[in-house]
Amino acid sequence: MPITANDPGRKSWLPVDKDSDFPIQNIPFGVFLTRDDIITVGTRIGDFAIDLGALHQLGYFNGIELTDDIFLQDTLNDFISDGKKTWRLVRNRIADIFDEKNTALKDNEAHYDRVIFTMDEIEMQLPVQVGDYTDFYSSKEHATNVGTMFRDPDNALLPNWLHIPVGYHGRSSSIIPSGINVRRPNGQTLPAGTDKPVFGPSKLVDFELEMAFITTDANDLGEPIPIDEAEDYIFGLVLFNDWSARDIQKWEYVPLGPFLAKSFASTISPWIVTMDALHPFKVESPKQEVEPLPYLRSKGKKSYDIKLEAYITPENGTPNCVTKSNFKYMYWNMSQQLAHHTSNGCPVKSGDMMGSGTISGPTPDSYGSMLELSWRGEKPLKLNDGTERKFINDNDTVTLRGYCQNSDVRIGFGECSTKILPALKM
Ligand code: CA
């Protein structure tokens, strides 16, 4: 079935700025509270939020097999469970409803008022109930930087790294949508030059510039997903800031890996951009230096050219772009990650979220964390207000942005933004 929603020549009767992340070719999915305090599944064109629950009740999805309440939900999990064919039919239909050649909704004032909101009238929610959250460690540049800093520059990558998409199971309970403030965590750390740990506010709070993919129900217990089918089970992508407390991490991570240094918060952008919308931006993955085992050999273009940026905005200050990276730098692609994740028979469900790992590029201005950008604090970054940052200060806001652009169209993710508040006094 063709992805007619992606037609680059299509224009909407809703006004869309030239630089908008959300032209009619995007049609992401999210969940929002309306001005009447009703929660609904929706999409976005330009700066307008569209209530898919209302559209469905008014008959605009007639002919597509959908349950009556599929969009009258506080999560997208059930819709995602319906599978790729339904996602594509719904996206194609939304494109037709808002195409400038079709003014049925535009000309029906009662319907228009029920369906369309301006962005300042609504409040974005978490788009899915995340059952399980896994974070990978799939950027070779990032793994090399961290290995160089903390172990041995000559053997920066551990022996398994070129053979396995390394990952760990995170906490889903602290995944939050953009716009929610986060307190600096308290935790146990070992001050430099001492052998007695202390408990108190982390001094080294850091962002991690990542993307995360969201899956549908993929497999039953005991049944691996073959790598050639893996992409069919991925619904879409969000920006992902995997907040990290480096001092807590350094003390706690041996031998079982990340724990409380990571689980205090992770922020996502609230609109899930579908794999269909990203299809025009597929690119080859980086050449793998060691041929992976057969179950991890992916064929064809399985990476995506998504430009990524991170900004720090001090309290009462203006944004400072501190890095520019790209999702295409990932050494292990999403198909490899999902095939590996299920290779032991572990089931993956609708709404599960898989983080990419920090996405660092090849140059120092493309690193995906303050740990790398300031090289452990040895090279502080200068901000436009004259202050310096080694890590993130109280009342700083960190904003991630991401978008794809070709000569026809720009498909973006909006923003993933969080302010760090002072720690609770213990
Ligand atoms: Ca991470």
Give pLDDT tens digits for 184-237: 999 999 999 999 999 999 999 999 999 999 999 999 999 999 999 999 999 999
Active site (annotated) includes residue 142: yes
pLDDT at 36 over 90: no
What pLDDT is stored for residue 151 in this prediction? Answer: 87
What angle is formed at CA 405 by the lines to CA 403 and CA 406, rounded to 5 degrees?
165
Q: For strand 266-268 and strand 175-177, is the pairing parallel, antiparallel, or unpaired?
A: parallel
Give the per-residue pLDDT at 369: 98
Report the distance separating Cα 386 and Cα 374, nearest Å: 16
Interval between CA 98 and ligand 1 midpoint (Å) = 38
- Across residues 33-56, what is the average pLDDT? 96
pLDDT at 281 over 90: yes
The H or E element containing residue 303 is strand 303-304
Q: Say whether pLDDT at 365 is over 90.
A: yes
Residues 101-130: pLDDT tens digits? 999 999 999 999 999 999 999 999 999 999
pLDDT of residue 426: 81
What local confidence, expressed as pLDDT, does residue 135 receive?
A: 98
- Asked if pLDDT for residue 264 goes beyond 90, the answer is yes
CA of 176 to the centre of ligand 1 (A): 15
Which of these is catalytic: 56, 111, 142, 341? 142
Per-residue model confidence (pLDDT) at position 35? 83
pLDDT of residue 150 exceeding 90: no
Tokens representing 242 are: 């995997």
* Number of residues that make up the chain: 426
Residues 48-91 pLDDT 10s: 999 999 999 999 999 999 999 999 999 999 999 999 999 999 99
Q: Determine the distance separating the centroid of ligand 1 and the alpha carbon of 287, expressed in angstroms.
A: 23
pLDDT in tens, 285-339: 999 999 999 999 999 999 999 999 999 999 999 999 999 999 999 999 999 999 9
- Residues forming a β-bridge with 353: 133, 214
The Cα–Cα gap between 89 and 183 comes to 42
Domains of the chain, start order? 4-124 (2.30.30.230), 133-421 (3.90.850.10)
> What is the H or E stretch that residue 397 is in?
strand 397-405
Q: 270 CA to middle of ligand 1, Å?
A: 18
Distance (Å, whole) CA 201 – CA 185: 6
Residue 396: its pLDDT value, please? Answer: 98
Distance (angstroms) between ligand 1 centre and the Cα of 211 equals 10
ω before 292 within 30° of 0 (cis)? no
288-322 residues labelled b (16+ CB within 10 A) or e (exposed): beeebeeebebeeebbbbbbbbbbbbbeeeebbeb
Task: Give 239 Cα–ligand 1 centroid separation in angstroms.
Answer: 12
Q: Cα of 319 to ligand 1 centre, how many Å?
A: 23
* Average pLDDT rounded to a whole number, residues 259-286: 98
Query: Under 8 Å CB-to-CB from 410, ≥6 apart: which residues?
Result: 19, 20, 21, 23, 403, 404
**By percentage, how much of the chain surpasses pLDDT 90?**
98
Tokens of 41: 């599944």
Across 340-348, average pLDDT: 98
What is the average pLDDT score of the chain?
97
Output the CA 66–ligand 1 centroid distance in Å.
36
Q: What average pLDDT does the segment 328-357 reach?
A: 98
